[in-house]
Chain A
Amino acid sequence: MSRVGVFICHCGENIARTVDVVAVAAAAARMPGVVHSVEYKYMCSDPGQQLVKNAIAEHKLTGVVVAACSPRMHESTFRRAAAEAGLNPYLLEMSNVREHCSWVHEDKALATEKAVDLVRVMVEKVRRNRALKPISISVEPTALVVGGGIAGIQAALDIANGGKKVILVERELSIGGHMARLSETFPTLDCSQCIMTPRMVEVASHPNITLMTWSEVESVSGFLGNFDVTIRRKARYVDLAKCTGCGECWNKCPAKKIPSEFDAGIGNRTAIYVPSPQAVPNKPGIDAKNCIMLTKGKCGACAKVCPRQAIDFKDVDKFETVKVGAIVLATGFELWDHSAYGEYGAGRLKDVIDGFAFERLASASGPTSGQILRPSDHTEPKTVVFIQCCGSRDTKMGMPYCSKICCMYTAKHAMLYAHKVHDGQAVVFYMDIRAAGKGYDEFVRRAIEADGARYVRGRISRVYRRADGKLIVRGADTLAGTPVTIEADMVVLADAVVARKDSRALAQKLGVSYDAYGFFSEAHPKLRPVETAVAGVYLAGACQAPKDIPDAVSQASASASKVLALFSKPKLDREPIIARVNRNNCDHCRACINTCPYKAISDLEIKDRNGKVVRVVADVNEGLCQGCGTCVAVCRSRSIDLDGFTDEQVFAELAALESQTK
């Protein structure tokens, strides 16, 4: 016999204004199975909760209905109170008489009637509730960090320093990402390499970090706490265990004219190469597309000179499966390809370069050793035009968003240029200057006032090359309202920050959602900015949206703290709202297995004591099941039910309504 207690909340005036709560309490008291019914001004307050707790003890309640706000708001509050009073928390249900009733109705009589119905429905449900136990799932305390840029490095180091194991996967030969390519960083102009390389070395030498460079995530299965990730270890053709990084091979390699990706095409590299002298690990790999041995079958110069016989041309991609409890995505961004802009030379003008190319020109470790020399004839440009918002905020190009970092790095470029070319003139074309951040606006002012950069507000209509090699930049000064023509020696485009070309493919492997531009979506734009909608998968850095270094690092540390919190307990409790198979009744038609969106249902062989398979039935994995109920809908023999929302409960709720409407 059920003994249900009903607690009706006024929610101040929120509910009581349109619902006669006293009448609801009186009506509830007459419902079958209800032994106690009261109303109170604020049920969620401490005295309100005490009311519930006392009643559970005093009236020996077997079920509780709290008629108040949405269960999203206070279900956990009241269930905790019930548990404290010794009642299984899943025997308490909330009836939403605020959002579903008082807030959306005006007629008090009708709203009261509806509130009574809502309470009646929930009383019928609670009478059929079963005590449920939270499901405990084990957590593998190892994190996978995808991407070895500054965000990935920071997340990996924070997790590793928290005492947990980390596997860091990087698709390039070296970690470091974009930040390792920068010359100086805004707003302090400290050398990027100087602050970056110690972190890179720390990653490589950290006892808790397993570094996998030249590797990519191939597939992901499993769930929060228990992901199985297959990693493709791409053929590197160099045995890292034998290689000492002596450099004999790349000095000898005859394929020397390959544009270096690291140097944004400003410098060249060989086919066997390390991306930069500061690479971690500082050991080479072979670029199979450009290697003469691998494409034409003869050469092998590197293998001949290698003193450690570390080179193996027969190397193939290998696959490694790791078990991890959490995944941090830190795959970063790329720069938009400005060749779509015909008016800026469609990528054909050698002296129209992107921001990364300028970084490499300005970098002391770059191909020009830090001298600003324009790519076409290696002379020092005396006038450099910087064009901001190249692609960004351009709906026509499909990027209506602001790339966020360009205003700052363009100011930095103008400054670095002024410091290196004293008789040079930097001209910056901008739409707006967006320099919100600690020390940011001061930095831009310094570029203008101390370093003499000429800022012109306006758009460029055309850049073309005159016969003498000068780049003619035509545009408008929208503040002065006049056309502008500048004879420049070099043009630097602040290309939009875009998502990695394959970000969508990676997101699909993980089930992570992404926006229209391919950036990964956070679970909540304000309150859950580093989680994804997939439990156990977190975001760090510019894979989520354009970000500068401080933001990327902050988000990486935030992700790391989420991971460490997850790993702080060996077991994880989760809501027991999952599907349950009635094995006696299951006919194993596999409809549920085929339909389950989480792949949570599989075959279960029922064996006799001799190990002979007697029957096969469907079986729900408690860790994977999300309680969506799709299997319940497709089961023809009604052999699956959802704990907490059983057919019996739902039918009883409907019947309670039906009996009133007759």
Chain B
Amino acid sequence: MSLIEAIRADGAKLLQEGEVKMVLGYRSRYDRRLPLLITQADQVSALVYDDDCWQNLPTYLRKGEVRSAMPVAIVCRPEGIRSLLVLASEAQIAADAVRVLAIVGNEYRGVLDLAAAAALIKDLPPAPVAPDVAAKLDELAAMPANDRAAFWRDALAPCTRCYACRASCPVCYCQNCVVERNTPQIVSTTAAPHGNFAWNIVRAFHQAGRCTLCGACQAACPQNLPLMLLNAWIERQVREEFAFVSGSGLNEPPFIGSWSPNDDDKFIR
């Protein structure tokens, strides 16, 4: 049985047996892949899966139509599973309301509950950073701070503030985003370099210790801003300075809000 046939079979079975009320997967429309929400077992034939399925489906768990259909089964790659674990640790989803149709590489790993999914990714290395991104990270690290700031200002200047990055991100779930607050106005909403820099940097900071490098924001960005470079930059700091990898276990203490006596404190002078 091929990967997609196995997913369809498991999805149909879960729906038939009433284990879940909804299956979240991908469908095909022309040459694009879109999310698909299925509630009837006879709809599973519409499910597809291939390398073009870039959306990180946990993003949809906070949508009203999905929240009212819990428990759900959800097609997830390892980054998606990490996103689920972040959402569970932040009380956004109940761990027992999710079944994972887990895919690792090109291999389907069956229906897992969140604990089993956490165990599955425990032994996997974190998502590899693309070689060109890794090379750029080293280059940035070697730059003086002022040059680095200038680099980011220039790189983020073309942003049109469409917020597709936010819409595609599984952990950008705030109902009212900080950028929409106006008493006081924390981030300028005009698509101008100053506000663009502030918005993208604030968003990246809000993802520290939460971003799983799923790449959805990068894929969604119409301006092709180097968002994965920014995310990877922060992910590297978090991992190297605090030995923390986002979404690496169930009930793991959050990155911000937990500490250990062994934390690096050399920045305190």
Interface residues of A (CB under 8 A from B): 585, 587-591, 594-595, 616, 634, 636-638, 647-648, 651-652
Cβ contact of A595, chosen from B175, B178, B256, cutoff 8 A: B256
B184 in the interface (beta carbon within 8 A): yes
Q: Could you list 17 examples of A-B contacts with CB < 8 Å?
A: A585-B175, A587-B173, A587-B175, A588-B92, A591-B254, A594-B253, A594-B257, A594-B258, A634-B256, A636-B174, A636-B178, A637-B178, A638-B178, A647-B184, A648-B184, A651-B185, A652-B184
Q: Is the CB of A638 within 8 A of B186?
A: yes
| A614, chain B: closest CB distance, angstroms | 12
Q: Is the CB of A637 within 8 A of B177?
A: yes
Interface residues of B (CB under 8 A from A): 90-92, 173-178, 181, 183-186, 206, 253-254, 256-258
| B169, chain A: closest CB distance, angstroms | 12
| A635, chain B: closest CB distance, angstroms | 9
Chain B residues with Cβ below 8 Å from A590 are: 90-91, 254
Which applies to chain B's interface (DSSP): helix, strand, loop or mixed? loop
Give A593's nearest chain B residue, CB to CB. B257
A-B pairs with the 9 shortest C-beta distances? A594-B257, A651-B184, A637-B174, A595-B257, A589-B90, A636-B206, A648-B184, A590-B91, A587-B174
Q: Is the CB of A638 within 8 A of B181?
A: yes
| B165, chain A: closest CB distance, angstroms | 15
Give B203's nearest chain A residue, CB to CB. A636
Q: Chain B CB within 10 Å — which of A634, A637, A651 has the most?
A: A637
Chain A residues with Cβ below 8 Å from B206 are: 636
A594-B256, A636-B178 given. 7 additional CB < 8 A pairs?
A587-B92, A587-B173, A588-B92, A589-B92, A637-B175, A637-B177, A648-B183
Chain A residues with Cβ below 8 Å from B173 are: 587, 589
Assembly CA distance A97 to B250 (angstroms): 53
Give A630's nearest chain B residue, CB to CB. B257
Give A596's nearest chain B residue, CB to CB. B257
Chain A residues with Cβ below 8 Å from B178 are: 636-638
Q: Is the CB of A588 within 8 A of B176?
A: no
Give A655's nearest chain B residue, CB to CB. B184
Give B92's nearest chain A residue, CB to CB. A589
Q: Chain B CB within 10 Å — which of A589, A616, A651 has the most?
A: A589
Assembly CA distance A269 to B116 (angstroms): 59
| B64, chain A: closest CB distance, angstroms | 13
Assembly CA distance A595 to B184 (angstroms): 24
Give B178's nearest chain A residue, CB to CB. A638
| B76, chain A: closest CB distance, angstroms | 21
Q: Is the CB of A616 within 8 A of B257?
A: no
Chain B residues with Cβ below 8 Å from A594 are: 253-254, 256-258
| B250, chain A: closest CB distance, angstroms | 15
Q: Is the CB of B256 within 8 A of A591?
A: yes
Assembly CA distance A589 to B177 (angstroms): 13
Chain A residues with Cβ below 8 Å from B185 are: 651
| B242, chain A: closest CB distance, angstroms | 15
| A389, chain B: closest CB distance, angstroms | 35
Assembly CA distance A300 to B185 (angstroms): 77
Assembly CA distance A587 to B62 (angstroms): 11
Chain A residues with Cβ below 8 Å from B90 are: 589-591
| B184, chain A: closest CB distance, angstroms | 4
Cβ contact of A647, chosen from B175, B177, B186, B256, cutoff 8 A: B186
Chain A residues with Cβ below 8 Å from B177 are: 637
Q: Chain A CB within 10 Å — which of B92, B175, B186, B257 has the most?
A: B257
Assembly CA distance A647 to B92 (angstroms): 26
Chain B residues with Cβ below 8 Å from A636 are: 174, 178, 206
Chain A residues with Cβ below 8 Å from B257 are: 591, 594-595, 634
Assembly CA distance A128 to B49 (angstroms): 55
Chain A residues with Cβ below 8 Å from B176 are: 585, 637
Assembly CA distance A587 to B175 (angstroms): 7
| B43, chain A: closest CB distance, angstroms | 31
| B84, chain A: closest CB distance, angstroms | 15
Assembly CA distance A457 to B253 (angstroms): 60
| A579, chain B: closest CB distance, angstroms | 15
Chain B residues with Cβ below 8 Å from A595 are: 256-257
Chain A residues with Cβ below 8 Å from B184 are: 647-648, 651-652
| A618, chain B: closest CB distance, angstroms | 10
Chain B residues with Cβ below 8 Å from A587 are: 92, 173-175
Chain B residues with Cβ below 8 Å from A589 are: 90-92, 173
| A157, chain B: closest CB distance, angstroms | 42
Chain A residues with Cβ below 8 Å from B253 are: 594
Give B186's nearest chain A residue, CB to CB. A638
Q: Chain B CB within 10 Å — which of A590, A634, A638, A647 has the most?
A: A638
Assembly CA distance A588 to B174 (angstroms): 9
| B69, chain A: closest CB distance, angstroms | 18
Q: Chain B CB within 10 Å — which of A587, A588, A648, A651 has the most?
A: A587
| B189, chain A: closest CB distance, angstroms | 15
Assembly CA distance A590 to B256 (angstroms): 11
Assembly CA distance A530 to B92 (angstroms): 46
Chain A residues with Cβ below 8 Å from B91 are: 588-590, 616
Give A588's nearest chain B residue, CB to CB. B91
Assembly CA distance A638 to B178 (angstroms): 6
Assembly CA distance A590 to B90 (angstroms): 6
Assembly CA distance A589 to B170 (angstroms): 13
Chain B residues with Cβ below 8 Å from A585 are: 175-176
Chain B residues with Cβ below 8 Å from A616 are: 91
Assembly CA distance A616 to B92 (angstroms): 10
| B25, chain A: closest CB distance, angstroms | 26
Give A637's nearest chain B residue, CB to CB. B174
Assembly CA distance A590 to B93 (angstroms): 12
Assembly CA distance A648 to B183 (angstroms): 6
Give B253's nearest chain A residue, CB to CB. A594
Assembly CA distance A591 to B178 (angstroms): 15
Q: Chain A CB within 10 Å — which of B176, B178, B185, B258 has the most?
A: B176
Assembly CA distance A153 to B186 (angstroms): 57
Chain B residues with Cβ below 8 Å from A588 are: 91-92
Assembly CA distance A648 to B256 (angstroms): 24
Assembly CA distance A652 to B184 (angstroms): 8
Assembly CA distance A594 to B186 (angstroms): 24
| B237, chain A: closest CB distance, angstroms | 17
Assembly CA distance A590 to B254 (angstroms): 9
Q: Chain A CB within 10 Å — which of B174, B178, B253 has the most?
A: B174
| A128, chain B: closest CB distance, angstroms | 10
| B181, chain A: closest CB distance, angstroms | 5
Assembly CA distance A585 to B175 (angstroms): 7
Assembly CA distance A638 to B257 (angstroms): 16
Chain A residues with Cβ below 8 Å from B186 are: 638, 647, 651
| B247, chain A: closest CB distance, angstroms | 14
Chain A residues with Cβ below 8 Å from B92 are: 587-589
| A347, chain B: closest CB distance, angstroms | 34
Chain B residues with Cβ below 8 Å from A651 are: 184-186
Give A631's nearest chain B residue, CB to CB. B257
Chain A residues with Cβ below 8 Å from B254 are: 590-591, 594
| B269, chain A: closest CB distance, angstroms | 21
Give B176's nearest chain A residue, CB to CB. A585
Assembly CA distance A228 to B261 (angstroms): 28
Assembly CA distance A647 to B184 (angstroms): 7
Assembly CA distance A636 to B174 (angstroms): 8
Assembly CA distance A637 to B176 (angstroms): 7
| A644, chain B: closest CB distance, angstroms | 16
Chain B residues with Cβ below 8 Å from A591 are: 90, 254, 256-257
| B179, chain A: closest CB distance, angstroms | 10
| A505, chain B: closest CB distance, angstroms | 16
Give B175's nearest chain A residue, CB to CB. A587
Assembly CA distance A593 to B176 (angstroms): 19
| A600, chain B: closest CB distance, angstroms | 14
Assembly CA distance A647 to B258 (angstroms): 25
| B191, chain A: closest CB distance, angstroms | 22
Assembly CA distance A595 to B254 (angstroms): 9
Chain A residues with Cβ below 8 Å from B175 are: 585, 587, 637
| B257, chain A: closest CB distance, angstroms | 3
